């Protein structure tokens, strides 16, 4: 069974000869950029550079999937947010367009043609053509909750969730078509599956906020986007996993703040689990033995796709990601 097929089978908790090694978020490190000879910020701004760096996820690290949207700002740049695309050792950052949730920020009719969207769409097509038989090509979209953070600012959205909940629901409804349109364009470009990142995390909001603002929205995204979706939420999500499993989404990409065994119990039998390996303790600071022990823990907990919990820190050594992948493959475990 090819890496691509193992990854896609495991997204559904399906049968495969082994568990998968992969990630819904960036696996780029500074030493991986040096290995490939492609660097930030060019890899955010040029489709060929983006595709070459993303391909290293499979060709150098050996992961079962590739994912070229390394930054969180692509579609927000296309909506009109000012974005600083960063530098070799620094991820991009952007600025909100307005602090006032009463502003109906216009959604440009041609936002998919803006470089923020057009470049990753071209990179996905290149990856599909070059690696599409061997590795799963995973795209990434942001859900309307995170898009609202980007457009209006995090504090303003969180305040509105308490003070103006009906207005915030209108804002989320207005932004929802952005997620759907970018997702469908990525599928048309060759994405086999999509990361849906929507940062309704415990540090910032309650589980009831997830239930009241996002459960139905995520279920609707699942219904309207015709490929497997991997929901990514950083931080401790143990208090909202019981809601997430009701969305019908195929897979949840979880943070090491949720112990793997607890995540498995809370996710139930049908929601696949990806990630859960600490980016600081294991991927950046760990040695080979620690990485291998972490993989054994994930295997015994029943994690379907093993890999880092979120975007890997740029100063991590990529050999730890390769070690993780080799441990997953050599284990031969977890198949069913």
Nearer to Zn ion, 234 or 306 (CB): 234
- Which residues from 59-88 bind Zn ion, rule CB under 5 A? none
Cα separation, 58 vs 85, whole angstroms: 25
- Cβ 201 to Zn ion shortest distance, Å: 8
Which lies closer to Zn ion via its Cβ, residue 22 or residue 334? 22
Question: Is 231 within 8 Å of 196 (Cβ atoms)?
Answer: yes
Residue 120 in contact with residue 69, Cβ under 8 Å?
yes
What's the closest the beta carbon of residue 223 comes to Zn ion, in angstroms?
24
Residue 200 interacts with Zn ion (CB under 5 A): yes or no: no
- For Zn ion, the closer of residues 115 and 207 by Cβ is 207
How many residues bind to Zn ion according to rule CB under 5 A?
Answer: 2
Judged by CB under 5 A, the stretch of 76-84, 140-148, 229-237, 271-279 that binds Zn ion is 229-237
* 234 forms part of the interface with Zn ion (CB under 5 A): yes
Tokens read off for 175: 């932004």
Closer CB to Zn ion, 183 or 234, in the complex: 234
Pick between residue 234 and residue 272 the one whose CB is nearest to Zn ion: 234
Q: How far is the CB of 234 from Zn ion (least distance, A)?
A: 3
Torsion angles phi and psi, residue 266, rounded to 5:
-70, -30
Specify the stretch interacting with Zn ion by CB under 5 A; choose among 2-10, 103-111, 205-213, 227-235: 227-235
User: DSSP label at 313?
Assistant: P
What number of CA atoms fall less than 13 Å from residue 313's CA on the CB side?
14
Q: Does 6 bind Zn ion (CB under 5 A)?
A: no
Restricted to residues 279-318, the positions that interact with Zn ion (CB under 5 A) are 310
CA gap 306, 264 in Å, rounded: 13
* Binding status of residue 321 toward Zn ion by CB under 5 A: no
Minimum Å distance from CB 261 to Zn ion? 21
Report the interhelical angle of 144-152 vs 154-163 (nearest 10°). Answer: 110
Q: Compute the distance between CA of residue 217 and CA of residue 170 in angstroms, rounded to an integer.
A: 12
DSSP for 172-229 reads HHHHHHHHHHHHHHHHHHT-SEEEEE----TTTS-HHHIIIIIHHHHHHHHHHS-S-E
Question: Taking CB under 5 A as the rule, does residue 138 contact Zn ion?
Answer: no
List contacts with Zn ion (CB under 5 A).
Answer: 234, 310
């Amino acid at each position: 069974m090819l890496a691509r097929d193992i990854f896609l089978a495991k997204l559904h908790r399906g049968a495969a000869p082994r568990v998968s090694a992969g990630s819904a978020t960036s696996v780029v490190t500074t030493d991986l950029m040096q290995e490939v000879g492609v660097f930030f910020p060019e890899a955010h701004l040029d489709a060929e550079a983006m595709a070459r760096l993303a391909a290293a996820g499979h060709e150098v690290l050996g992961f079962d999937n590739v994912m070229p949207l390394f930054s969180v700002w692509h579609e927000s740049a296309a909506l009109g947010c000012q974005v600083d695309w960063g530098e070799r050792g620094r991820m991009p950052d952007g600025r909100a367009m307005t602090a006032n949730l009463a502003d109906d920020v216009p959604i440009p009719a041609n936002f998919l043609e803006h470089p923020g969207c057009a470049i990753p769409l071209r990179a996905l097509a290149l990856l599909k053509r070059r690696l599409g038989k061997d590795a799963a090509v995973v795209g990434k979209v942001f859900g309307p909750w995170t898009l609202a953070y980007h457009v209006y600012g995090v504090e303003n959205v969180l305040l509105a969730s308490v003070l103006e909940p009906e207005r915030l629901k209108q804002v989320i409804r207005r932004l929802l078509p952005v997620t759907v349109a970018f997702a469908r364009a990525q599928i048309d470009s060759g994405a086999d599956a999509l990361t849906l990142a929507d940062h309704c995390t415990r540090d910032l909001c309650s589980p009831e906020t997830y239930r009241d603002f996002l459960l139905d929205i995520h279920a609707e995204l699942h219904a309207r986007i015709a490929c497997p979706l991997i929901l990514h939420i950083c931080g401790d999500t143990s208090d909202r996993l019981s809601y997430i499993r009701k969305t019908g989404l195929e897979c949840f990409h979880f943070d090491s703040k949720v112990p793997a065994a607890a995540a498995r119990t809370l996710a139930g039998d049908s929601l696949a689990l990806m990630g859960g390996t600490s980016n600081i303790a294991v991927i950046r600071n760990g040695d080979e033995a620690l990485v291998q022990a972490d993989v054994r823990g994930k295997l015994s907990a029943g994690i379907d796709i093993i890999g880092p919990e979120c975007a890997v820190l740029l100063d991590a050594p990529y050999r730890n990601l390769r070690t993780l992948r080799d441990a997953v493959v050599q284990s031969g475990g977890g198949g069913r």
